[in-house]
Amino acid sequence: MRCKLLFSFLVVSLVGFSSFVGASSLSKVFKKVNPAVVVILTKERGYSSLKPGETVTVTKGGLGSGIVISKDGLVMTSAHVVQVADSVVVRFLDGTMTDAKIIGAAAQADVALLKLDRLPEKLVAAELGDSDDVHIGDEIFVIGAPYGVDHTLTVGYMSGRRKPETVCKPLVPIEFLQTDAAINKGNSGGPMFNKNGKVIGIVSHILSQSGGSEGLGFAVSVNTAKELLLNRDSMWTGLEAYLVSGPLARALNVPQGAGLLIQRVANDSPGEKLGLKPGKIPVQVAGERILIGGDIVLEVQGIPISDDFRETCRIGEKTGGQNRGGIMDMKVLRGGEVVNLAVSN
């Protein structure tokens, strides 16, 4: 009996020691990489109705996370955090803040690249890993600002590798890493690390019935992000649009089967330089709140907008492979007239 008790004590002690060593190691890795994690604060224009036929411009604040990836001030985050932002401010661990510009985005993969306007002293950059080296069951951790609570650490496992179901053949394979680490609003754009502190993913979204974390979180693999943002030119449009077709398209006098109703256009974006006008009249359509009264895009690069996904794929392939310095042209419906717009990207 004494031997059994002694053996049990040794087993419990070893398990406890192993857990202690793991926690201690994670604490050290966290302290090393945490200064490279940043909070992303955005502002964007919106419109609200005071009474029928009357609207007012409002400014909305946005919140996300990001990760510094280079000493020259490059920051990765989620595209949906900054896509229609009029201004972007990055806040560091010590509370200092600096403005940033959006220099690239891949909306289909939900990743974006920022450049800091000013480099703070002792800027810390994280190391990008190889997401192909991470396997289901490996321990990972996430740092971000859930609900604005800065630099929160959550730990979990790699639960799966997912590729989005799409009828389009993407120019670059897009992969999402699934995790059970707690992810909430504000974590978007933050880094997912492997146990050695290398970035393996950029947090994108969760699947949730409650609106909070339910153990189904997804991050864009860092290999996807590197290919789309660092290894090729990526184009940030600064646009948010709503596909109109069928009865709604006819009600808006769209002279073809479908069009893209412009919802928002970010300041100083290619969309604004193109001259696109956003909607300003909030309405409720089939349970969705949209803005009407803005431009309706009919063609992009000579390809008509359609509710046929194959045509949408053609547009994505043509614009997605476009280099900086090329000409972006669109045909839009504005005030009942068809107008041609063009700008160098």
Residue 1 lies in a domain: no
CA distance 250 to 258: 9
Q: Are 108 and 145 in the same domain?
A: no
CA distance 302 to 280: 27
Residue 157 lies in a domain: yes
Q: Which residues are catalytic?
A: 80, 110, 188
Residue 24 lies in a domain: no
More confident residue, 138 or 46: 138
Residue 29 lies in a domain: no
State the pLDDT confidence band at 206, using cuts at 50, 70 and 90.
Answer: confident
Cβ–Cβ contacts within 10 Å for residue 31, how many? Answer: 10
pLDDT tens digits for 102-135? 999 998 899 999 999 999 999 999 999 999 999 9
Q: What is the mean pLDDT of residues 151-180?
A: 84
CB 159 within 8 A of CB 179: yes
pLDDT tens digits for 133-162? 999 999 999 999 999 999 999 999 999 998
State the pLDDT confidence band at 18, using cuts at 50, 70 and 90.
Answer: very low
Q: Which of 116, 147, 173 represents a domain boundary (last residue)? A: 116
How many distinct structural domains can be found in the chain?
A: 3
| Residue 263 confidence (pLDDT) | 95
CA angle 26, 32, 34 (to 5 degrees): 90
| Residue 171 confidence (pLDDT) | 59
| Residue 100 confidence (pLDDT) | 98
pLDDT over 90 percentage in the chain: 67
Residue 307 lies in a domain: yes
| Residue 52 confidence (pLDDT) | 56
Q: Which of 229, 250, 268 represents a domain boundary (last residue)? A: 229
Q: Are 106 and 137 in the same domain?
A: no
Q: Which of 229, 248, 269 represents a domain boundary (last residue)? A: 229
Res 286 pLDDT > 70: yes
Res 240 pLDDT > 90: yes
Res 277 pLDDT > 50: yes
Alpha carbon dihedral 327, 111, 81, 37, in 10-degree steps, equals: -130
CA distance 78 to 187: 10
What residues make up the domain containing 152?
131-229
Q: What is the mean pLDDT of residues 306-326?
A: 61
pLDDT tens digits for 80-101? 999 999 999 999 999 999 999 9
Residue 8 lies in a domain: no
Q: Are 164 and 203 in the same domain?
A: yes
Q: Domain with 85 in it: what CATH number?
A: 2.40.10.10
Q: Are 267 and 287 in the same domain?
A: yes
Q: How far is CA 177 from CA 42, 163, 196, in A?
A: 26, 9, 17
Q: Which helix (H) or strand (E) holds 23?
A: helix 2-33
Q: Domain with 318 in it: what CATH number?
A: 2.30.42.10
- Total count of residues recorded for the chain: 345
Residue 27 lies in a domain: no
More confident residue, 95 or 49: 95
Q: What is the pTM of this model?
A: 0.85
CA distance 261 to 242: 5
Residue 297 lies in a domain: yes
Q: What is the mean pLDDT of residues 38-46?
A: 93
CA distance 227 to 203: 17
Q: Are 255 and 194 in the same domain?
A: no
State the pLDDT confidence band at 258, using cuts at 50, 70 and 90.
Answer: very high
Q: Are 248 and 340 in the same domain?
A: yes
| Residue 321 confidence (pLDDT) | 46
| Residue 242 confidence (pLDDT) | 93
| Residue 203 confidence (pLDDT) | 97
Q: Are 212 and 247 in the same domain?
A: no
Structure tokens at 35: 């200064």
Q: Are 192 and 275 in the same domain?
A: no
Q: Where does residue 105 rank: exposed (0-12), middle (13-18), buried (19+ CB within 10 A)?
A: buried
